[in-house]
Amino acid sequence: MPFGIVKLNDGTEMPAIAFGTGSSLRGKDATEYVEQALESGFSHIDTAAIYKNEQTVAQAIRETGLSRSDLYITTKYDGGDIQEAIQTSLSKLEIKNVDLYLIHQPFLVENNLEASWQEFEKIKEAGLSKSIGVSNFKLELLQTVVKSAKIVPAVNQINFHPYNYAEHKSLLEYSAKHGIITEAYSSLSPITKFPGGPVDAPLAAAAKRIGASPVQVIFKWVQAKGVVIVTQSSKKEHLEEYLAVADLPDLTDEEIAAIDEAGAKGPPQPASRNQFVTCVLGGYLLVRVLYEGAKWLELV
């Protein structure tokens, strides 16, 4: 089953899962990995000027032979003259327009936010990007954009997972009110960055019920929040695992609430220096006791 699409507030449609070329692919040749993602079934590629691999995204698309109409391409502005920036990205991507163009970070435009957004509106009006949006914008800044916008942002892409859901709840509610789709990167942080935390138990319980992996349960949870997934892997089996989420049963309201509540407790805290020293000394003493005990047994 296809992963599905979401309708944006400008009437266009976007695939509900994307393969990202940031993170471990940043500054690297992404050709092989983008090609693998496209062959696995991804149709939405999320790249950015700062990732320094837009040209290799274009190369991967050429090598797969897919037509432009079969693909959804997102890229992001990373400073400088906005009109020049979009033209540079289009040249590197070897296309006439992108599907979605985002302001990558608020600090790039904070000093001149209204004028910068007007430049983005010109990009959409000129047909250089079908949709325009923002990334990493918190509630107050997004509200500022919306108040003066002629064209409301279609998307806000943020770091989003169960451990930061509580702090983003108001942002998601405001976005939904204005038809702004939230995209999530780093959704797998509870597994990749914060293992052993409170979220592990409800993930495992839901995974057992629906016959899925904890990774897939996180993606089902993200979907339940009405959020689009941006993810990445160098391994084909993981990409297939992600896409298979479309065929899994939905989480129950109780399972979603359990993940929410566990996430609100926060991720596991790293061990303090004192805990580390205590652990090391404890280990040393245990080894010493065993060593001395062995010596004593030899004497007996």
Write the DSSP assignment of 125-151 as a string of letters: HTTSEEEEEEES--HHHHHHHHHH-SS
Whether residues 264 and 291 share a domain: the answer is: no
Both tokens of 39, joined, read 């062959």
Q: Quick check: is 163 catalytic?
A: no
At 252, which CATH number? 3.20.20.100
pLDDT at residue 222 in the model: 99
Whether residues 42 and 177 share a domain: the answer is: yes
Whether residues 163 and 226 share a domain: the answer is: yes
Is the distance from CB of 250 to CB of 219 less than 8 angstroms?
A: no
Residue 112 CA neighbour count, 13 Å, CB half: 10
Whether residues 86 and 197 share a domain: the answer is: yes
User: In the chain, pLDDT over 70 holds for what percent of residues?
Assistant: 89
Whole-prediction pTM: 0.89
CA distance 169 to 172: 5
pLDDT at residue 1 in the model: 54
pLDDT at residue 281 in the model: 41
Token pair 């899925």 in the structure block, residue: 212
Whether residues 144 and 243 share a domain: the answer is: yes
Catalytic residue among 51, 72, 77, 242: 51
CA distance 85 to 120: 11
Q: Total structural domains in the chain? A: 2
- By residue range, what is the domain housing residue 250? 5-268
Whether residues 26 and 59 share a domain: the answer is: yes
Whether residues 144 and 216 share a domain: the answer is: yes
Whether residues 179 and 295 share a domain: the answer is: no
Whether residues 300 and 228 share a domain: the answer is: no
Whether residues 297 and 167 share a domain: the answer is: no
Whether residues 240 and 291 share a domain: the answer is: no
Is the distance from CB of 203 to CB of 190 less than 8 angstroms?
A: yes
Q: Do the annotations mark residue 104 as ligand-binding?
A: yes
What are the beta bridge partners of residue 185?
Answer: 159
Residues of the chain where predicted confidence (pLDDT) is lower than 50: 272-300
pLDDT at residue 3 in the model: 83
Is the distance from CB of 128 to CB of 90 less than 8 angstroms?
A: yes
Average confidence score pLDDT of the chain: 92
Whether residues 159 and 71 share a domain: the answer is: yes
